[in-house]
Amino acid sequence: MARREMQGWRGALCAVGAVAVLMAPLAGWAGTPELKGKFEVLKDEKSTHQPGKVKLFEFADFYCPHCHHFDESGLPVIQKEFGSKLDATMVGFPVFRNKLPTPFAMYEQAKTMGKGDEMKRVLFRTIHKDKVTGVLDRSLREVLIKEVGLDPKAFEEGMASGKPLEAFDAGRLWGERINVQYTPTLLLDGNIKIEGDNMKTENIIAVIRSILEADAKK
């Protein structure tokens, strides 16, 4: 996992002092049910939970190899497990210095055009498999934009508006507010944070399943 503000990446996990909670009561729930798995409840953040569905926000850096691995191997397993009961969205959160924000802006623009997930996969592949880590100039962007099925002219007009960068910056500030230290980090239903050693697929599934099971018991 990549730690915030690292210039490179390393496989060993760095401790940041965040306390994982096992079988912790979730604030804001009627009856305060006990949830399974390892996670942290953010007491200063409100729960946005809607019965029968879990909203997952993945704070990730397109330049982070661990985020690429999670997008390829972890998230698809979780999505298959819960189907329509899980709504997953990436939030761009840069941890590597001296990298251009272009991929994050492209992702945000693609989201507004209904192709966010497709653009996310293409960008991860381009950076980590195709090894294109420099400038994503307009000629290269056009190839990627067409690959995900979008109109390059409309896409570039959206990029030029500055709104994608504003959305990216808002997500970055959100991540800073909840003290994201590693990428990827997950936020479930607004106030359940999973990061670091707890980012194992089986643990994430356990937490989400227990949220949905708690709904069924109400």
pLDDT of residue 22: 40
Task: Return the pLDDT at 32.
Answer: 43
Q: Tokens 């937490």 identify what position?
A: 207
Q: Return the structure tokens found at 138.
A: 């307009």
- Residue ranges of the chain whose pLDDT lies below 50: 5-32
Cα 70 to chain centroid, rounded: 10
Q: What confidence score (pLDDT) does residue 208 get? A: 97
Domain that holds residue 133: 54-193
In this structure, what are the phi and psi dihedrals at residue 135, rounded to the nearest 5 degrees?
-80, 130
Task: Answer whether residue 182 is part of any domain.
Answer: yes
Residue 40 lies in a domain: no
pLDDT of residue 217: 83
Q: Find the CATH number of the domain harbouring 69.
A: 3.40.30.10
What span, in angstroms and rounded, lies between the C-alpha atoms of 100 and 121? 18
Residue 168 belongs to some domain of the structure: yes
29 within some domain = no
In a domain, 128, yes or no: yes
- Beta strands in the chain, from DSSP E residues, in sequence order: 2-3, 21-22, 38-41, 54-60, 86-92, 182-183, 185-188, 192-194
Distance CA 139, CA 151 (A): 13
Q: Which pLDDT score, from 0 to 100, does residue 142 have? A: 95
Furthest-apart CA atoms within the chain: distance in Å: 56
Residue type, 129: K
* In-domain check, residue 42: no
Amino acid 102: pLDDT = 95
φ, ψ for residue 96 (rounded to 5)?
-100, 130
Domain-located, residue 33: no
Residue 47 lies in a domain: no
Please state, in angstroms and rounded to a whole number, the distance separating the CA atoms of residues 169 and 172.
Answer: 5
Residue 12 CB partners (closer than 8 Å, separation 6+): none
The dihedrals phi and psi of 90, each to the nearest 5 degrees, come to -90, 140
CA-closest candidate to residue 3, choices 193, 176, 134, 196: 196
Q: Which residues pair with 25 in a beta bridge?
A: 34
Domain count, the chain: 1
